[in-house]
Structure 1
Amino acid sequence: MFLSVAFVLAATIYGGAAMPGSLEESLLLNGRWSVQDSCLCASAPAVSISFNAKTTEVSFDIEGLARFRLDIDGKTQKYFTSNERKTQKFKAPKDGKMHLFRLIKVSESNPGKICVRDISLAKGGTFGERPKQSNRRIEFIGDSFTVGYGVEANNVNDGTPFEKTNNTKSYAFLLAEGFKADYHVNAVSGRGLVRNYANMVPEWTIEHLYDYTVMGAPEQDANTERWDFERFHPQVVVVFVGINDFQGEPPYADVGKFKQAYVKLLDRLRALHPGVKFLLVATKTWPNDDLGGVVEGIYNDQVAAGKTDILYKFVYTENTALHGHPSENSQKELANTLRPLVARLGGWLSR
């Protein structure tokens, strides 16, 4: 016999958010989740579900291909993989006390999605109060560097993206954790702002995917749900896009179109989230090192126009992990480099 969360009613979700159903005050969400009649669906990196519970066992009914991490009281307990719909069961501390559980999706869905259809506790188990939302909110908009693509690989040919990607080892997750902030990681590997790597699926760039709740779904269903921007108002947005616009096989993105789309995104976010601050990030691209100059030019234009809500940083990374992506050590260094800038923008201490 189990006590379970039934995903049957609508809910208002704001950043870390309440689940639908009779236990709507029990669950806290981070990242973009689609709240449907019978499940929660998502594709974004590092989406998570947190809740307090007193139980000897917790079960997750999950459908879709993904790797997950289960934390209890802030400590990693288990990594596991889902694919076909299956109930995953895990032992919990048998001390009769309330504990904090967090389920984090560590792999990428690109394209695709996962659905959590139920969360159950053992007989006699009880859900506690919903974990508190943070007063700090940060969003990351990016590509594979932000996803944490291949970060666990020992070299550029070690394993597959599914096996070696771990969002919780990306600079984005590390920064959010360090600030104890609610977060959204809206990043998709291989995608640029206006031009994707090797011009793959050219109609589905970040510029177009950004409007969807489940960003991995529109390629398969163009009628998928649009994101309601009232559900999460970030205080700081880290924009690290453009690597795929200007790297790999030509032709590269038209600089004029890229600048126009970049500024349009900034202006749109200002309108959606009054008072929001921006950190623009760029790095070296191959074979032409164009990205830094283009983004720095956008930043300079913004400052010249009187914008005071914005900072810029050019970063260097050690791209020794899978397919030439930042290693775990490099992701940590990247987080350390950006931390004081994010703290300055948010008016936050690191802890």
Structure 2
Amino acid sequence: MVAGTVTVGLTPVAPPVSASPATSRALAQVHTAGRVSVADGAARFSWPGVYFEGRVRGTAVGVVLDDPHSDYDVQVDGVTAATLVTPSAGTHWITDLRDTAHTVRLVKRSESPWATASFGGFVAAPGGAVLARPAARTRQIEFIGDSHTAGYGNMSTTRDCSGDEVNRTTNADRSFAALTAKRLRADYQINAFSGRGMVRNYAGGEPGTNYRTYYDRALLAVDGDVWPVPPTWRPQLIVVGLGINDFSTAIGPDETWTPQSLAAAYRSAYHGFLDKLRARYGRSATILVVAAQMSDPTLGEATQRVVRERHRRGDQRVQHFSYGENLDLLGCHWHPSQRDHQLIADQLHSFIGTLALRW
């Protein structure tokens, strides 16, 4: 546990993109399972829920971070010691700790697909030391989805939210994805992008793009960026929740879709996306096709049909999971609340327990 009064301070140091040997060594002492791009001694990233874990001995720990667009939690010995709101470049300190070894975790709470964050590692106060990085977990889960998976506005106490309020109340670390993975003691990625669908975005926005436009990237704002999948990332479970945005809004007069053509395109793209995941992660991984029951019934019909067709093709390790019963949707803009995310996580955890996972 954190002892004493925990304070947060910002010291005027060089930005974390410094290519100093000390910064490079600092990253070597950090564990992350997220999509990061390491360059010039810093880890750059965009997706929500990306986390970094380390071990530090001493009375204070510094977090070398630059991201004026997103919010972060700093957790020390399993307790949230500070929330950093749009932190500018520098070393952000958690002080007044007991003079012993501590675990420290930095996690990105909110979404900022238009921006790129930079993390330069953890540092210790004088007399302390950064210790060897924590071991990677054996279990790995990749969550793929939209605002529901990202935890959009899940900490809000009202459905009526401004843009800033959405940013402040979105907490990917309290999403059903993170809750489920932590309960299973698994490393995880939350590759979620609000408003994006498999073939059609919310209300038909940004035509010509969709979730698949961005899936391969580590840095969402960088056109053509490709995350080189490391050999250490081989999730045994992949949870795909895409389709709320495809079907939840009426087709506009300027859109070329019909209900029939949209459903057909969705199913075809879904199969292509599953083929991509199979090529990347192999046939032994279990893939959950997820449908939110509170959305247009077309979604559930389409996802169940995709699963049936996968089974006919011989891919029995694709399964269907749905949620939506008893949700209050009290988060921002009628999104799942914190209570709802816990309910979904409980349902998902129970469902996963029925699967013959190979981990």
Using the size of structure 1 for normalisation, the TM-score is: 0.87
Q: State how many pairs are aligned.
A: 333
Q: Give the aligned partner of residue 287 of structure 2.
A: 278
Q: Is residue 5–residue 120 contact of structure 1 (8 Å, CA) maintained in 2? A: no
Q: Is residue 193–residue 205 contact of structure 1 (8 Å, CA) maintained in 2? A: yes
Q: Give the aligned partner of residue 239 of structure 1.
A: 240
Q: Give the aligned partner of residue 105 of structure 1.
A: 108
More displaced 10-residue stretch of structure 1: 112-121 or 264-273: 112-121
Q: Give the aligned partner of residue 347 of structure 2.
A: 337
Q: Is residue 30–residue 184 contact of structure 1 (8 Å, CA) maintained in 2? A: yes
Q: What is the alpha-carbon distance in structure 1 between the residues aligned to residue 103 and residue 16 of structure 2?
A: 16
Change (3 A) 1:307 1:206: same
Q: What is the alpha-carbon distance in structure 2 between the residues aligned to residue 155 and residue 24 of structure 1?
A: 39
Change (3 A) 1:32 1:321: same
Q: Give the aligned partner of residue 298 of structure 1.
A: 306
Q: Is residue 71–residue 102 contact of structure 1 (8 Å, CA) maintained in 2? A: yes
Change (3 A) 1:269 1:143: same
Q: Give the aligned partner of residue 80 of structure 2.
A: 76
Change (3 A) 1:309 1:9: farther
Q: Is residue 140–residue 237 contact of structure 1 (8 Å, CA) maintained in 2? A: yes
What's the CA shift for 1:342? 2.4
Q: Is residue 53–residue 125 contact of structure 1 (8 Å, CA) maintained in 2? A: yes
Using the size of structure 2 for normalisation, the TM-score is: 0.85
What's the CA shift for 1:294? 0.4
Q: What is the alpha-carbon distance in structure 2 between the residues aligned to residue 332 and residue 84 of structure 1?
A: 32
Q: Give the aligned partner of residue 255 of structure 1.
A: 263
What's the CA shift for 1:114? 1.4
Q: Give the aligned partner of residue 7 of structure 2.
A: none
1:71-110 Cα shifts (integer Å, max 9, x gaps): 1111221112124324322115232x21110011111113
Q: Is residue 236–residue 345 contact of structure 1 (8 Å, CA) maintained in 2? A: no
1:201-234 Cα shifts (integer Å, max 9, x gaps): 233311110011122x13xxx24x3111235211
Read off the aligned partner of 2:285 and give its amino acid letter: V
Alignment gaps of 5+ in structure 2: 1-10
**SS of corresponding position for 1:268:** helix
Work out whether 1:314 is the aligned partner of 2:322: yes
Change (3 A) 1:86 1:127: closer
**SS of corresponding position for 1:80:** strand
Q: Is residue 54–residue 99 contact of structure 1 (8 Å, CA) maintained in 2? A: yes
RMSD across aligned C-alpha pairs, in angstroms? 2.6
Q: Give the aligned partner of residue 4 of structure 2.
A: none
Task: Note the 1:150-299 alignment, pairs <5 A.
Answer: 150-158=153-161, 160-215=165-220, 217-218=221-222, 222-223=223-224, 225-231=225-231, 232-251=233-252, 254-274=262-282, 275-284=284-293, 286=295, 288-299=296-307
Q: Is residue 154–residue 175 contact of structure 2 (8 Å, CA) maintained in 1? A: yes
**SS of corresponding position for 2:303:** helix
Q: What is the alpha-carbon distance in structure 2 between the residues aligned to residue 266 and residue 99 of structure 1?
A: 41
Q: Give the aligned partner of residue 47 of structure 2.
A: 44
**SS of corresponding position for 2:32:** strand
Q: What is the alpha-carbon distance in structure 1 between the residues aligned to residue 20 and residue 202 of structure 2?
A: 40
Overall identity of the aligned pairs, in %:
28
Read off the aligned partner of 2:348 and give its amino acid letter: L
Q: Give the aligned partner of residue 325 of structure 1.
A: 335
